[in-house]
Amino acid sequence: MSTADLSDYDQGSVPDAGKMTFGIVVSDWNHDITSSLLNGALNTLKKHGAKNKNIIVRHVPGSFELTIGAQLLAESYDVDAIICLGCVIQGETPHFTYICQGVTYGITKLNLDYGIPFIFGVLTTLNHDQALERSGGKHGNKGDEAAVTAIKMVALDREM
Ligand code: DLZ
């Protein structure tokens, strides 16, 4: 079964982000992958009108720290949405499962506890090749996808 380019979205339907502010929290674990996710997210936000001065980027050591990093950012800056970027690659032990569960639960809880969207831009892959394919490879870039989701969620929030 082949997977489509996950970043292949209808650009015409993405709202203008010119008056939106964003936080990005990015994990440094698997840095080669997460730096591509970050570049993808930044380029996509700017492509849709977001200004450099309205994008705040902060780094955390690993994906497990994305939750607290995003919470600190939400409490320190007035942003409309926060994008969480990370990459967890399965190893030989169940550690992968615990990190994935922890960050998924953490980001879900932030969405429910705060009045802004927190976007789940975390790759959870079986190996490094799968991560490469989803961070600017044949399956697109999850950073682009996360940025578009953030813009759409801010627009939805304003509409309501
Ligand atoms: C410890 C660990 C391992 C084994 N693998 C990853 C990974 O693939 N991706 C990732 O983002 N972080 C990993 N980490 C680090 C944890 O996220 C976390 O930083 C540490 O457990 C310290 O809390």
Q: What is the pLDDT of residues 33-84, one digit of tens each?
A: 999 999 999 999 999 999 999 999 999 999 999 999 999 999 999 999 999 9
Coil, strand, or helix at residue 27? Answer: strand
d(CA 144, CA 65): 21
Q: What is the pLDDT of residues 9-46, one digit of tens each?
A: 666 699 999 999 999 999 999 999 999 999 999 999 99
Amino acid at 46: K
d(CA 16, CA 46): 10
Catalytic annotation, residues: 95
Which residue's CA is minimally distant from atom 14 of ligand 1?
62
Which residue's CA is minimally distant from atom 16 of ligand 1?
62
Cβ(120) to ligand 1 under 6 A?
no
Cβ(94) to ligand 1 under 6 A?
no
Task: Provide the token pair at 124.
Answer: 């959870």
Beta strand pairing call for 140-141 and 22-27: unpaired
pTM of the model: 0.94
Task: Provide the token pair at 77.
Answer: 């800056």
